[in-house]
Structure 1
Amino acid sequence: MSEDIFRIATKEDAPAFLELLSSAFKSVGELGINWPSTRATLEMVTENIVNSTAVVLERDGRLISTLTIRFPWESTTPVSGYPFVWWFATAPDLSGQGIGNKLLEYVENTLLRDTFKAPAFTLGTSGKKHPWLLDMYKRKGYKEYFQHENDGDIGILMYKVLIPERFDENILGTPPFSDAKAEKTSV
């Protein structure tokens, strides 16, 4: 019987991480979405693993899903005052089996809420070019707080509250890439 293992990626995982990310984001790139994940290189993946908290779900020695947490202190221009998650990918041959949900719930509840005590976290998604991501995140309880034009798409920043009594809307902040065309949506 297979055992699923949650762990933090290491530099040695970089080639397998890149393979997983490339296969999972191939269809996203084909939609005309130009996210860093759609054009990741081994150097980018290695830097991500070294500088952020890249969580992987491993089964029988194979990386099957990943999600990276970027903490506000990792950059002088963070997306938000709360942690930002990105590079969420699951092996395409395993889609529809709840693997991505399993990893996302682990990151949300075990790591961000229970371990790091994060009141909330943020993520970005496509509001126009991707056919189902925005709706999926809304169904999972994420709320929009910022929109911006991005290469013919509408980039949507979303947040999810993990510890309501500690959540402060002001900490969401305004992302460093905001401009006159961007708008903060009501929280």
Structure 2
Amino acid sequence: MTYSIRKATLEDIPELIDVSHKAYEPIRQLGLNFTGAYPTKENVRENLTENQCYVLLKDDVIIATASIRMPWSKNPGPYGFPHIWWFATLPAYGNKGIGSRLLKHIEEEIILKEYHSPAVTLGTSDDHPWLIDMYINKGYQTFGSIDLSDNHTTQYMLKVLDSHRFEGFSTIRNRIEKPKKKIIFEGGVTNAD
């Protein structure tokens, strides 16, 4: 029995549909509107072409998947960091550390080492009975929410992957978001730090 992680390809679409459909069955039963709960060939293809999608395989069979929406993509995450979404593990492999293994690989090997991002975000439903607690146990913290028109409030969560670089980013971000002072000079008004 061998496990491996790789980037998904268009040839993986049928397996990705199967994994997402099975993994998100409880989400559909709760009436939550997650994109991953309703996988179609079209939306899986769009995810593969617009985002970074990774799969965890057991003996060459996909058993878990997660995607990363990049800050510069058509559908970025909410706060300028890579954003994990469409995270799914086949139910037969639930509570066995499979999803955690994939998530940790994406956080440490892809987001931190390849993209040098000091943090990562994700979103989940406020109405889900255990997902928020699960992510808190994995080091995420809640930091904002948005009430969506599709019957749920998305709770945004952030995990700091490199605290030193994150502090630097926070300082820069605060400086950018700080209101600019107006300076009056001969002939008019200008903005300055």
Superposed displacement of residue 66, structure 1: 0.5
Partner of 2:106: 107
- Say what the alpha-carbon RMSD is for the aligned residues: 1.6
Partner of 1:178: none
Q: How many residues align?
A: 169
Partner of 2:184: none
Contact 2:69 2:75 survives alignment (8 Å): no
Contact 1:14 1:46 survives alignment (8 Å): yes
Helix, strand or coil: the match of 1:55? strand
With normalisation by structure 1, the TM-score equals 0.85
Helix, strand or coil: the match of 1:113? helix
Partner of 2:45: 46
Partner of 2:84: 85
Contact 2:145 2:156 survives alignment (8 Å): yes
Contact 2:76 2:83 survives alignment (8 Å): no
Structure 2 unmatched ranges of 5 or more = 175-193
Q: Give the whole-Å Cα distance in 2 for the aligned partners of 1:49 and 1:152.
A: 26
Helix, strand or coil: the match of 1:74? coil
Partner of 1:143: 141
Q: Residues 89-141 of structure 1, C-alpha deviation per residue, up to 9 Å, x if partnerless?
A: 0011111111001111111111111222111011001112x110001111111
1:133 aligns with 2:105: no
1:61 aligns with 2:75: no
Structure 1 unmatched ranges of 5 or more = 172-187
Higher relative contact order (CA 8 A, sep 6+): 1
Q: Give the whole-Å Cα distance in 2 for the aligned partners of 1:132 and 1:76.
A: 26
Q: Give the whole-Å Cα distance in 2 for the aligned partners of 1:57 and 1:123.
A: 19
Contact 1:10 1:50 survives alignment (8 Å): no
Superposed displacement of residue 153, structure 1: 3.0
Tell me the percent identity. Answer: 37
Computing the radius of gyration from Cα coordinates, the structure with the larger value is 2
Helix, strand or coil: the match of 2:84? strand
